[in-house]
Amino acid sequence: MFNFSIPAVLKAYIDQIVRVGVTVSPNNVGLLTGKKPTIILASGGDFSAGFAGGKIQPRQGYLRQVPAWIGIEDVDIILAGRARAGAAGKRQSSSSAPP
């Protein structure tokens, strides 16, 4: 996460995917149906639902909204937090991951 958003490189990549006439119709109907992506969100800190009341999760909403706009409704998001916490922190993070 970069300043509560996504990195500029990922935003540029999304801009290349969302194309009128290719992935979305001129009247904003998604053209990619029947797909099921998995998005893995890695961070140095713990941004799981239990952290800070679950309020620090702006990336998840955005990364569900973009695929929905191009016709992909069923998105799995895996939180891989505490990447800088060392082995003990990673075990704690994975044990508290949402089902």
Could you tell me the residue range of the domain that residue 12 belongs to?
Answer: 8-84
pTM for the full model? Answer: 0.68
- Per-residue pLDDT at 69: 95
Q: What tens-digit pLDDT sequence spans the chain (99 residues)?
A: 566 678 899 999 999 999 999 999 999 999 999 999 999 877 776 666 555 545 556 678 888 999 999 999 999 988 777 666 665 555 554 444 444
The domain tally of the chain equals 1
Please indicate, yes or no, if residue 92 is contained in any of the structural domains. Answer: no
Angle at 9 between CA 52 and CA 12, to 5 degrees: 110
CATH of the domain at 25: 3.40.50.360
- Per-residue pLDDT at 61: 84
The pair of three-digit structure tokens given for residue 43, joined into one six-digit string: 């961070």
Predicted confidence (pLDDT) per residue in 6-20, tens digit: 889 999 999 999 999
Question: In whole angstroms, what is the distance from residue 57 CA to residue 66 CA?
Answer: 15
